[in-house]
Structure 1
Amino acid sequence: MKVLFILLIAFGLYIGESFQTPLDDYVRAPDSHFAWKVIRTYEQLEYTLYIVNFTSQQWLDETFSSRPIWWHYLCISVPAKITRPDSAFLLIDGGGNGDDIPKPEDNFVALTSMFAVSAGSIGIDLQQIPNQPIRFMAAVRAMDAVQEFATKLSLPVPKKFVVGGASKRGWTTWTTAAVDTERVVGAVPIVLDILNLQANLHHHYRSLAGWTFAFADYYQLNITKLTDSPNLKAMGAIVDPYSYLERYRNTKLLQIQSAGDEFFLPDNELLFWNDLQSATGGTNLLSNGPKPISAIGYKARTLNAKRRDFRLVIGDPNHPGKAIVNPVFWLTQAIGQQVVNSTKTVYTLTIANPLEGWEGFFIQVNFPGPQGTALELTTETLIIPDTYPTDDCSGDGCYGTLV
């Protein structure tokens, strides 16, 4: 697991968004189906957990979907001691409408409750994202519901939200932060780092000489064949977070990703990270913060020269839609350290080009956190040599194969 961090500091005044997209229009459109109701309450030692049945919207009608009215479980943890009354954390979670009513011991419900108690602010677990066919708008409506809920129960009403979610919910995290810049002050996208979609898809194809087996659902619908389609570019202008980089100017972003993820590559940030910094005011060096308590390097090598492949699981050649183990392990590596002055330390990690395949590496720096915890931040992942195992695809040739 590695974490990329960028602290975005705005200079001057930022007045609204400079442009509107169909995504803005859709999310802000009124929907009379919006509703919520508390269906269960759990009194716990340090917090109270409220389970809310929450209806976010109507998606088209019965001629298109067997369930056009979409509802979710909204699990709201209210700590006994609220020390940050203006803030809340919203986790965008998965699940299905056939699931049992959530309980306090459920994994992500318990996680958000822990956040609530430790942070002294309301914690929310929004479930059933996505619940097919497609789900839009629910995270923004969930913030609406939480504010109404807090008002009705005479609780402090959070005005600022930190949102987070993994994989497809990571995409939702990016776009929620883009369309609700007033309330979302922090975003924690997990795994999802395929911003600059069209360019990153080509990077993916060239790295793996095909498409990860995890793309099977999209591959079966011929979506990979549409990589160069003008419609994909037009869609990206609406839903790709890369189209909204300047809107993150006032947002603190903490990106969490897995170095061995089977969906996305460890160096996807190279196609958007610098642009993100430029769009949000550049790099700001903070010289009066806490000093690192330690730092360490990590490196891993591909198993062969066929693919620039750092996944822990890959497609089974005999069953392309299924996975087999690909034991690429990230090992610790000593780094160099040079203390320049009282506010500047330089860490270096030197890796030689491998004789075969590719080597990936990054540096992790650990900072002291509250109550003996540590904040672990990393650099971007670099991969050497800077080559690909195959030429790029174009047009229908991008259909490729699953690997």
Structure 2
Amino acid sequence: MHPLTFFLLASFLPNVQLMEDLKALEEFVNRPDPHYEYTFVKEEPGLYTTERANFHYINMTSQKWLDETEVDKAVWSHELIILYPTKLKYGESCLLIVSSGEIPPETFLSELLGRFSLLYLAVRLKLFLALLTPVPIQPLTFYKHPLGRENIKNYDIMAYSWWRFINDSSVSPEMLVQFPMVKAAVRAMDTITDYVMETFQMNITKFTLAGIAMNGWTTWLTAAVDSRVDAIIPVAMDFLNFTENFLHQYRSYCGWSYGLKPFIDMNITQKLDDPGFARLASLVDPLAYNERYTNVAKLIIILSGEDVFLPDNTRHYFAQLKGEKHLRLERKNTVPDLVAAFYDLVARDKPRPNISLQITTDVVMAANLEGSKSGVDKFTEDWAMHS
């Protein structure tokens, strides 16, 4: 073979692999699964001051992930709650909140995902709202877990799935837990669309997705594979370009945050230079899908007091990020109002605040906020940004 031909072939092959990786998630999500079904359970009225919204409870099975030789719960069953405000004004849009189901009382999660808060959001916005839980299904016991751990949850599930993928070349990308998490969100959108059309004769064509931590990740990847998502609100998940941000954390702390313990325990942090880790990043790093975010409005909420990711992760992805993007460092107890305000602006196609800035090293040299206070209160009047 001519040396030039060999060089061109060698340079072309990584791009082919990257294109295949970008298709893997989409193909998995769109593959029909005979386990998918939903059943209406009940309807309950809700009253907030003088306005009403009805809760529609649905049991939904999204898929079968892996099989019984790998995990104790292979079939994923969820509760899907759809809120229908009786004074609905816009029937073509829905806010879908994806939750892990872990909602400790007296926390901002309960403030955002509790029954009263969901009711408040629905009647205030006069728009469809839905809550999907749990994603992922948990706790789970994996029979090939190298540490023999049982009934693991959240990031421990993610770390195990990453470990299997990196260390076992026979494992397909579908082993990565982000794949079924995204599929659950997409099946929820399918269910909402079908149920609302059948029950209310309204056609939902647009979704805003909100999620916290792991399900912030779900919002990013779902937007990359489903064009119905026109806006996302990832909360406490700005870990894009995560290979670089893993290294950034280690350099900043001279070590790792205790929030990354699941990945440390599974030795993931020792694999950052491994080819398997690079392949993993091409499959589930949201920045790998950057071109698909051009038409997606993004409100990235970083929480003050975050114990997993650094507040300046943004330096490694924000400038590269395509499309409309907003960034806010926020106190936990103000997240529900911010989610509601952003969704209201998106659903009604109202302009969002526009910020321009110049940064030299780490010093903000100039910033300009354009837009009036005619938008929803919290989002425009109390607008803040983090550099």
- Alignment TM class, shorter chain as reference: 0.5 to 0.7
Contact kept? 1:349, 1:363, Cα under 8 Å: no
**Quick check: 1:36 aligned with 2:81?**
no
CA distance in 2, matches of 1:347, 1:272: 16
**Quick check: 1:368 aligned with 2:373?**
yes
Say if 1:40 and 1:242 are closer, same or farther in 2 by CA, change over 3 A.
Answer: same
Please provide the CA RMSD for this pair: 3.6
Contact kept? 1:91, 1:112, Cα under 8 Å: no
CA distance in 2, matches of 1:271, 1:350: 15
Equivalent of 2:29 in 27, 30, 33: 27
Which residue of structure 1 aligns with residue 156 of structure 2?
none
Say if 1:123 and 1:346 are closer, same or farther in 2 by CA, change over 3 A.
Answer: closer
CA shift, 1:156, in A, is 1.4
Structure 1 range deviating more: 77-86 or 362-371: 362-371
* Alignment deviations for residues 96-123 of structure 1 (CA, whole Å, 9 cap, x no partner): 7xxxxxxx99944433333322222210
Contact kept? 2:99, 2:211, Cα under 8 Å: yes
Matching of residues 65-214 of structure 1 within 5 Å: 65-95=71-101, 107-132=113-138, 133=140, 134=177, 135-136=180-181, 137-181=183-227, 183-214=228-259
Say if 1:361 and 1:117 are closer, same or farther in 2 by CA, change over 3 A.
Answer: farther
CA shift, 1:81, in A, is 1.4
Equivalent of 2:280 in 222, 235, 240: 235
Matching of residues 371-390 of structure 1 within 5 Å: 372-375=377-380, 376-381=382-387
Partner SS, residue 237 of structure 2:
coil
CA shift, 1:260, in A, is 2.5
Which residue of structure 1 aligns with residue 315 of structure 2?
270
Q: Which ranges of structure 1 fall in alignment gaps of 5 or more residues?
A: 1-17, 97-103, 284-297, 299-311, 313-343, 354-358, 382-403
Contact kept? 1:362, 1:380, Cα under 8 Å: no
* Alignment deviations for residues 306-337 of structure 1 (CA, whole Å, 9 cap, x no partner): xxxxxx9xxxxxxxxxxxxxxxxxxxxxxxxx
Contact kept? 2:244, 2:316, Cα under 8 Å: yes
Matching of residues 191-340 of structure 1 within 5 Å: 191-277=236-322, 280=323
Question: Partner amino acid for 1:237?
Answer: S
CA shift, 1:244, in A, is 0.6
Which residue of structure 1 aligns with residue 67 of structure 2?
61
CA distance in 2, matches of 1:346, 1:204: 27
CA shift, 1:203, in A, is 0.6
Question: Partner amino acid for 1:199?
Answer: E
Q: Which runs of 4+ in 1 moved over 6 A?
A: 344-351, 359-366
CA distance in 1, matches of 2:306, 2:366: 16
* Alignment deviations for residues 182-218 of structure 1 (CA, whole Å, 9 cap, x no partner): x001111111111011111111110111110011122
Contact kept? 2:260, 2:308, Cα under 8 Å: yes
Structure number with the higher strand fraction is: 1
CA distance in 2, matches of 1:63, 1:148: 34
Q: Which ranges of structure 2 fall in alignment gaps of 5 or more residues?
A: 1-18, 103-109, 141-176, 333-353
Structure 1 range deviating more: 29-38 or 107-116: 107-116
Question: Partner amino acid for 2:285?
Answer: D
Partner SS, residue 86 of structure 1:
strand
CA distance in 2, matches of 1:72, 1:369: 39
Say if 1:208 and 1:81 are closer, same or farther in 2 by CA, change over 3 A.
Answer: same
Partner SS, residue 125 of structure 1:
strand
With the length of structure 1 as denominator, give the TM-score of the two structures: 0.65
* Alignment deviations for residues 204-240 of structure 1 (CA, whole Å, 9 cap, x no partner): 1101111100111221111111122111110111111
**Quick check: 1:51 aligned with 2:51?**
no
Partner SS, residue 61 of structure 1:
coil
Paired residues in the alignment total: 292
Contact kept? 1:77, 1:122, Cα under 8 Å: yes
* Alignment deviations for residues 143-165 of structure 1 (CA, whole Å, 9 cap, x no partner): 00101111221341211000011
CA distance in 1, matches of 2:78, 2:365: 40
Contact kept? 1:109, 1:125, Cα under 8 Å: no
Question: Partner amino acid for 2:273?
Answer: D
Structure 1 range deviating more: 250-259 or 149-158: 149-158
Question: Partner amino acid for 2:316?
Answer: L
With the length of structure 2 as denominator, give the TM-score of the two structures: 0.67
Structure number with the higher helix fraction is: 2
CA distance in 2, matches of 1:243, 1:260: 28
Contact kept? 2:220, 2:234, Cα under 8 Å: yes
CA shift, 1:360, in A, is 11
Identity of aligned residues (%): 30
Partner SS, residue 256 of structure 2:
coil
Q: Which has the higher contact order (CA 8 A, sep 6+)?
A: 1
Larger radius of gyration: 1
Partner SS, residue 170 of structure 1:
helix
